[in-house]
Amino acid sequence: MPTRDIFSAIADPTRRQILDLLCQREMAVGELVETLGLAQPNVSKHLRTLGEADLVHVRIDGPRRHYRLRAERLRELEEWLAPYRRRWADRLDALERHLDQLDDPDHEEN
């Protein structure tokens, strides 16, 4: 069970960047430190926050820790966004219809 809310976990831009990197492949902490250009304690702090939200999984290999994205946890975010996406899709469809009417030479303005 996650101990941290997914929304607060992804609020930080550095944590979102970490998720973007982990979306591509599993990475060791050292790789994340090098890629992000941050100090190891800072990266570890962000990884701990993401772990508390169950957004990452850690695999320990001797002294190294490898992290991977737990994409299934993003479903909660997707479900929350769904009504907003539908709303925007409806509005974009209406805009498209309006623009099509403007391009129609047979369309007359009122």
Q: What is the average pLDDT score of the chain?
A: 89
Sequence letter at residue 75: R
Domain residue ranges of the chain, discontinuous segments joined by +? 6-70
Nearest CA to 27 out of 65, 77, 53, 60 is that of 65
pLDDT 10s digits, 66-97 = 999 998 888 888 888 888 888 887 878 888 88
pTM for this prediction: 0.74
Q: Considering the chain, what percentage of its residues have pLDDT values greater than 70? A: 93
Q: Which helix (H) or strand (E) holds 27?
A: strand 27-28
> Between 84 and 10, whose confidence is greater?
10
Q: Whole-angstrom Cα distance, residue 99 to residue 75?
A: 34
> Between 10 and 98, whose confidence is greater?
10
Q: Whole-angstrom Cα distance, residue 16 to residue 67?
A: 14
Domain 6-70 has CATH 3.90.79.10: no
